[in-house]
Structure 1
Amino acid sequence: MNAVLKPQMHPDEWKARVELAAAYRIFDMLGWAEMIYNHITVRLPDSVTGGAKQFLINPFGLHYSEVTASNLLKIDIEGNKLDAGNPWPVNPAGFTIHAAIHDNVEGAHCVMHTHTTSGLAVACTEGGLAQNNFYSAQLHDLVAYHDFEGITIHADEAPRLLASMGKRPLMILRNHGLLAAGHTLPLAFVNLWTLQRACDIRVAQAALGRAIPIPTPVAIKTTADALQFDQRFGAGQDVFDAMTRLMEQRCGPGYKT
């Protein structure tokens, strides 16, 4: 790792870059990539920025499988590129909604957005996510909904999206896809993974007739008992570490370069 560490780069920035590059490769391994589109973004810590709002985002034009720690772009809250030595362009329009959440939602260190088939299918249904399976029962009162307004590139949509999101860490963008935010990348990942699994099962139920609903008190208890979200049990870190090891076994350590 030292061989590729940029001399002027703070070690905390490099750590954030490696973790985010791993996330992009994991998304690709899971089939969550969307050509060159969509984003996972993280805010760099104050130890790196001195309190300025700076973020890491994927280079526009690269597939998730091509993202590495060194080719990630550093940008400001307006989506302007800060690392002039990086030849790849940034997609500032694609950062619009991420910027609004990073800037206004407390603890939104990481924001993830996907267009998975199951997630988008559920987002297109009137009923949305049904509280009738093991995974959706872990998400009681954690999922917000936002009505479709077209491609999310216009800043004037941000206040309405933030109002829809409130303080919930997950959001189903109707007719569009899924979104997660978290105070760490691993927590955002495990939240999104749980929502994705719930959507997968919801789609599978479609051909089986009416599903058995889970009573609200049981869902409240199930959500409280979901250990992967609990800081005492890693808040997703152990899951993310395991997925990183699996990704390295399959794809190699090239994401660290």
Structure 2
Amino acid sequence: MRKKLALAITGVATLFALTACGGGTAVAPSPTATLDPATPTIVKVGASPIPHAQILEYIDENLAKNAGIDLEITEIDDYQTPNIALADGTLDANFFQTEAYLADQMATKGYKFEHGAGVHIEPLTAFSTKFKEVADVTEGSLVVLNNDPVNQLRGLRVLESAGLLSGLVDGDSALTVQDDAAKNPKKLKFQEVNSEQVPKFYQEDPTVGIAVVNGNYIVQAKLNPEEILFQEEAKDNPNANFLTWRAGEQTAAIAKLDELLRSDEVREYVKTTWKDGSVLPAF
């Protein structure tokens, strides 16, 4: 088993940004016709630390060897580096994103990727130390949430489902909603930060009334479930995470990893590891 832990994100991301070509044409590796457990094929995968890398580690330690693959896992804390590294060939695949996020990345940055079916869902969750119930939220409260457009709209829709916002449309953002009295009757104020920084702002800034946090960072930051104000519904949720690879480059090893990610063993692992419902199987 090979494993790399915790990329030096800043330096690596800068290097990737200089070398990536917006998902331009890459030379496809020679496909692996068969997989041999005696000489396993290495698959380099970038993933968010929790739960994605944990799931991959489970596969690497329990399922990969007999399947003829050997995972080289790189933990990446941000949401930009995994696609940059996949586009420039540093990674064979990544495991961290949703359909809407991937579609936005491909449209804006020119990546040419393909992906498998959903593996798990991390419900987006609104946390608060100031309010026990949604009805308690006071006018003008500060909400900290994700600054990338796709996850930000998803976060705003969580607040809408809770009854704090109203009448959202595709393309809405904190900027369009904040001063719209019809959509934001409680005159909530919004602070936009990188997704991985939301828990830090929530835990360290006493002015924050509500924080809308991505599921993987909830687990990573060990947020208190008793502070949950409202949580995104898991049923029929389109925001499942999946394995992604460069278009036309799904080797036998990548196909096998995609299959293992949606195996009975992984479904049971997810259910028993995250009994609090912060991570749920999507299959």
TM-score under structure 2 normalisation? 0.26
Which of the pair has more CA radius of gyration? 2
Higher strand share: 2
TM-score under structure 1 normalisation? 0.28
Q: Higher RCO, 1 or 2 (CA under 8 Å, sep at least 6)? A: 2
